[in-house]
Structure 1
Amino acid sequence: MDGMEPIAQASASELKMSLVTPIRAAIRIRRKIRNLKKSHQQLDLSGRNSAEGSRSSLLRRQFSTDSRVGYHSPKFFNFDTPSLDQVALSNLKRKKKRKKSRPVLYPGNGRKYLPVEHKSKAKRCLILFFGIVCFQILNAIENLDDNVLKYELDGLEKTMQREVFGQKIAIDKITDLLKDYLATHWHNKPLVISMNGPSGVGKSHMGRILAKHFRSVAESDDFVLQYYVMHNCPSDSNIGTCETDLSKMISDMVTRAELEEKIPIFIFDEMELMPPSLLDMLHGYFQLNQDNEYLNAIYILISNIGGNEVTKYYLQNVSSDVLNVPQELHDIIQSSLRQHHNLWDVAEIVPFILLEKSHIANCFLDELLREGFYPDNSNIENLAGQLKYYTIRDKQYSITGCKQVVSKVNHLHPYT
């Protein structure tokens, strides 16, 4: 019986060990699950390394515990499925790995060639086309400048400003019209300029300046015609003969100018005295439906038509700035011209305004210098005071303009 006791004790101890080992394993598994849950709650994308460190520490503790008790558990043991954050991190890591590509290595003894670019022929043609267009535009601009310089319009403008007093608006407008028209030789209509205003304000003097300038530029009288109605076609002459002679002169000048590629200038003074039949004939040259040579011409019409209306309007608006009302003067003069004849419908109206007393003094000074007199200021003031003036608001405007200046100077003694 004594021999049976050790056997019974050994079997009891073995039974006890077989019961304790599964319980310990279950306790370890439960602790492991609890620790893993805590680590999953603390998991973050930025803190992935810390979560991995905690996981590795748990696995080390589990392995050490199993080794102590003699239970060999697997190295990776987890009942939970991987979370979405872990999946995203693993995918991101794979993508980064995929982006890395191996460098292309060329043989040491080989030549490196770049890909051949096939140039389009259409692109070359387009560049050539743009070059031709730019060259043509530049050439046209240079031709325009050369054509204007040929007529020396800057010198003409300075001459008008020096010799025609008190008509700055008229000078600027005439200069602009001539520059625009003379910039090229080919036109679709002739240029018609009508100078209108009271007597003695410088219209006829302006016509003489234009005729003298264009004669000197052309170096010939063949392309400038000055036509005075009272001289070339007086009231007692045959109107039919006047029409024939004038038509022949215009045709001959236009033909010669076309052969030499020049623009003729026709200056008609005293238009208010021209007979209606002659006005009808002249109006025919202003039309568009005619030969090309008749379209390249400049007609300057000088008359006193509308002068009374300009005087009345100017005296009524003497307080206002005349520079701001040129359109009103233009409409007033054009209304008066249409009542006379319809040829002025195609004309550019250039109003000439009244002259002040200071302008009359300049006229006397210029005439005295021409005649060789000493320009004495007291003598000039005395001569200017002999004329009649409109006096409005401390301003004096000459009634006859500079019309009587020449006769007053001619009556002076040569030695006074």
Structure 2
Amino acid sequence: MDGRKSALKSPQKLSLLSSPVRAVIRLRRTAQILKKGLLPGDPQAKLLQRQISLGKAKVGSASTSLLSQASFESSQYFTFDTSVQPPSTKGSKKKKRSKNPRVLYPENSRKYLPTEHKSKAKRCLLLLVGIVCFQILNAIENLDDNVLKYDLDGLEKTMHREVFGQTLAVESIIGLLKDYLATHIHNKPLVISFNGPSGVGKSHVGWLLAKHFRSLMGHSSVLHYFALHHCPDDASAASCQLELSKTISDIVTQAEIEEKIPLFILDEVEFMSPALLETLSGFFQTNQTNEFLNAVYILISNLGGEEITKVILQNVSSNLLKPQRQLDQLRTVLRPVLSQRHPLWTLVEIVPFTLLEKSHILSCFYEEMMSEGIYPDPNRIERLASQLNYYTKEEQQFAVTGCKQVVAKVNLL
């Protein structure tokens, strides 16, 4: 009875033990096969399976006799795909990839370009550019309004009509005034020096400037100062300095209240004493209060007239071809001569007035006779003009005294 019971129990224990053992053995065997690169169906693999099962199976002889190759192949727990390709060996050749692979689209599909997404930042940038352009345009219009207030275009037409032979000088004066009067904020006053021989129109231009600006801004913003009249020889230099300084300060203060730029025309500067020139120089500096920086000073003198006459007579042919070059050359010659007279001329804009030709003298006679109500007979004008003295150079005649004697000649008629 005991033998039977043990015989009956042993198969049950074997069956309970064989399933897990078979699974473990199966896994280890498969791992060994895969490490060596053998397929499960090869003869070498089968031999290796038997060696593994005989060497490492530590179950009883009854269990090993029951385990067979057929039972392992027909396992209901694990299956292996024998069609798996073996892993590539190190010696296998790798496929060469093309350096520039081409992307091929299917033939039956439509090709679309990538969509471009609009950025909101671009709209903000366009808005900012528009604002800046509007501000610039507004600033330009404001500058034009300031210039229109002084009617410099009308002044230019008047000067071209009444001043003869000084086209470049008139253009230089108008250009300087337009640049300065375009705004009310400056870092220094505008100082212009009219220099040239006697009778070429310097004082006449000063008179036209005084008349024009008085009609626009009133008499309180314009000072027309004559050195010999306001400061005669018998007057003391100290009193002249005090009077001129007080007059300029009062006009500048009043003009600042009225938001205007005053004009000071100082004629006969060559007769001013060094002390009076020093007083003027103090108003031309940059280290002043704002109201003294917003002012225009016109200095009129015969200083440098001899140098201008010499340069023109020596370069008659070249000056006729290049008038702008002539103007630049005259400024270069006048600067050291005027600075030697007083350092204030280092702070000024020099506008040289050139010699007048005989044709300009004829125009002066014509205008003077018309203003006096005398019929401008051409023969009479020619006879009067021939009575004046001229420099003759290469068939050109330049008046020695300009139009200065024209008024006296006409008054004798």
Corresponding position of 1:132: 131
Closer, same or farther: CA 256–378 of 1 in aligned 2, 3 Å: same
String of CA shifts for 1:344-390, please: whole Å, max 9, x gaps.
10111111111111111111111101111011101111111111111
Give the structure 2 partner of residue 242 of structure 1: 240
Alignment of 1:371-386 (within 5 A): 371-386=372-387
- Once the two structures are TM-superposed, the CA of residue 131 in structure 1 deviates from its matched residue by 3.3
1:135 shift after superposition: 2.1
**Which residue, 278, 281, 284 being the options, matches 1:283?**
281
Mapped partners of 2:254, 2:138: distance in 1? 27
Which amino acid is 1:181 matched to? Y
Structure 2 distance, partners of 1:199, 1:340, is 18
Tell me the alpha carbon deviations over residues 315-345 of structure 1, each in whole angstroms, 9 at most, x when there is no partner: 1111222513222211111121011101010
Aligned to 1:390, what secondary structure does the other structure show? Answer: strand
Within 2, Cα distance between the matches of 1:166 and 1:96? 82
Give the corresponding residue for 1:39. none
Tell me what 1:337 maps to: 338
CA distance in 2, matches of 1:138, 1:317: 45
Match of 1:367 in 2: 368
**1:273 positional shift:** 0.5
Q: Match of 2:184, SS? A: coil
Please give the alpha-carbon distance, in whole angstroms, between the structure 1 residues aligned to 2:236 and 2:402.
34
Indicate yes or no: 2:287 matched with 1:294: no
Alpha-carbon separation, structure 2, partners of 1:393 and 1:126 = 65
Give the superposition deviation at 1:291.
0.6
Structure 2 CA distance for aligned equivalents of residues 118 and 129 of structure 1:
17
How far apart, CA to CA, are the structure 2 residues paired with 1:118 and 1:174? 54
Mean alpha-carbon deviation: is it higher for 342-351 or for 129-138?
129-138
Q: Which residue of 2 aligns with 1:179?
A: 178
TM (normalized to structure 2)? 0.70
The verdict on how the C-alpha distance between 1:118 and 1:398 changes in structure 2, with shifts beyond 3 A counting, is closer
User: Which residue of the partner structure matches residue 357 of structure 1?
Assistant: 358
TM-superposed CA distance for 1:183, in Å, is: 1.2
Specify whether residues 378 and 96 from structure 1 end up closer, same or farther in structure 2 by C-alpha distance, changes over 3 A only: closer
Counterpart in 2 of 1:67? none
Change (3 A) 1:96 1:386: closer
Q: 1-side partners of 2:205 and 2:109: how far apart?
A: 89
RMSD over equivalenced CA pairs, Å: 2.4
Among the aligned pairs, what percent are the same residue?
A: 62
Q: Residue type matched to 1:153 in 2?
A: L
Per the alignment, residue 255 of structure 1 pairs with: 253
Deviation at 1:253, TM superposition (A): 1.0
Letter in 2 for 1:407: A
Q: Which residue is equivalent to 2:221?
A: 223
Post-superposition shift, 1:101?
Answer: 6.4
1:407 aligns with 2:408: yes
| 1:156 alignment partner in structure 2 | 155
CA distance in 2, matches of 1:325, 1:255: 40
Q: CA deviation at 1:129?
A: 3.3
Q: Residue 392 of structure 1 aligns with which residue?
A: 393
Structure 2: runs of 5+ lacking an equivalent: 1-100
Distance 2:238 2:265 in 1: 21
Structure 2 counterpart of 1:313, from 311, 314, 326: 311
Conserved 8 A contact 2:193-2:350: yes
Query: In 2, distance between residues paired with 1:133 and 1:170?
Result: 37
**Unmatched runs of 5 consecutive residues or more in structure 1:** 1-91, 103-114
Deviation at 1:125, TM superposition (A): 4.9
Deviation, structure 1 residue 127: 4.4
Runs of 4+ in 1 over 6 A off after TM superposition: none
The superposition leaves residues 94-120 of structure 1 with CA deviations (integer Å, 9 ceiling, x where unpaired) of: x766x7569xxxxxxxxxxxx9x9974
Q: Distance in 1 between matches of 2:313 and 2:147?
A: 38
Count how many residue pairs are aligned between Structure 1 and Structure 2: 306
Does the 8 A contact of 2:312 with 2:319 survive in 1? Answer: no
- 1:395 CA drift (Å): 1.3
For the residue of structure 1 that corresponds to 2:175, the secondary structure is helix
SS of alignment partner, residue 320 of structure 1: helix
Match of 1:348 in 2: 349
1:141 aligns with 2:147: no
Deviation for aligned residue 1:262: 1.0
**Distance (Å, rounded) in 2 between the aligned partners of 1:352 and 1:119:** 62
